[in-house]
Amino acid sequence: MDSPIQTTSPSETLRQWIIDYSDALYTRAFYKTSNKETAEDLVQDTFFAALEAIPKFEFKSQPKTWLISILNNKIAEYYRKAYKGALQPESRQGFRNVFDIYFDENEEWQKDQQPTEWQIEQSNLLDDEGFLRTLQNCMNKLPEAWSAAIQLKYLEEKKGEIICQELKLSSTNFWQILHRAKLQLRKCLELNWFNLDL
């Protein structure tokens, strides 16, 4: 017998949300991670987390907004894991100490590595597809933990202190990883974009 007030079961609600929003979530996940499988996993995790939480969802906010906020947490979690995983000693072996490239034994800049003014002064870089491609290539060349560190820095609008706390696990501080990442990224963009014609 049907109850007078028609209630929808959580799984029916979720079905409708999957139909309505899975492409939007997938689009977001893909552009934030640049990887199809990762994006698919994150979207699935998001919907299954939502299914568990539906009884608590009070329909005060838009379902889409709520789902996106769950997805954003999943994306940040993914990068935190990537960061921590790639800092483990066994996966750290293999890349040279980046500091040796840039600094001498007195920790001063190597003569040929001193930063000098870039040749290209361009204001609308982010509208330039060539630049975006170069940036993506340079990010892809970084070790996983380093690009994850960069993502984490800008992904969430969190205070730096909080990010540092969440990531604290070794003697290497978050900003020390960022330091290495920025040195490499800076050099890569200099060689492949800003001073390309030199």
Partner 1 sequence: MMRKQITHFFVLSCKKATELIEKRSIISLSLIEKIQLNLHKSICDACTTYEKQSQKLDDILKAQIASEKAAEENPLKNEELKERMLKKIQK
Beta strands in 134-190 (DSSP E): none
Length of the chain: 198
What is the Cα–Cα distance from 87 to 173, expressed in whole angstroms?
11
Closer residue to partner 1, CB minimum distance, 90 or 154: 154
Closer residue to partner 1, CB minimum distance, 22 or 192: 22
Nearest distance, CB of residue 91 and partner 1, angstroms: 22
Closer residue to partner 1, CB minimum distance, 53 or 90: 53
Nearest distance, CB of residue 90 and partner 1, angstroms: 25
Closer residue to partner 1, CB minimum distance, 91 or 100: 100
Nearest distance, CB of residue 19 and partner 1, angstroms: 7
The candidate with the shortest Cα–Cα distance to 71, out of 101, 100, 38, 98, is 38
Nearest distance, CB of residue 171 and partner 1, angstroms: 14
What is the Cα–Cα distance from 5 to 15, expressed in whole angstroms?
20
- Contact residues: partner 1, CB under 8 A: 11, 14-15, 18-19, 22-24, 26-28, 30-31, 40, 43-44, 47, 51, 99, 102-103, 106-109, 114-118, 125-126, 132, 135, 150-151, 153-155, 160-161, 163-164, 173-176, 178-179, 182-183, 185-186, 189
What is the Cα–Cα distance from 46 to 113, expressed in whole angstroms?
45
Nearest distance, CB of residue 122 and partner 1, angstroms: 10
Closer residue to partner 1, CB minimum distance, 2 or 90: 2
The candidate with the shortest Cα–Cα distance to 157, out of 63, 70, 72, is 72
Q: Which residues contact 80 (CB under 8 A, 6 or more apart)?
A: 148, 152, 166, 167
Q: What is the DSSP letter of 55?
A: G
Crossing angle of helices 63-85 and 144-155, in 10° steps, is: 150
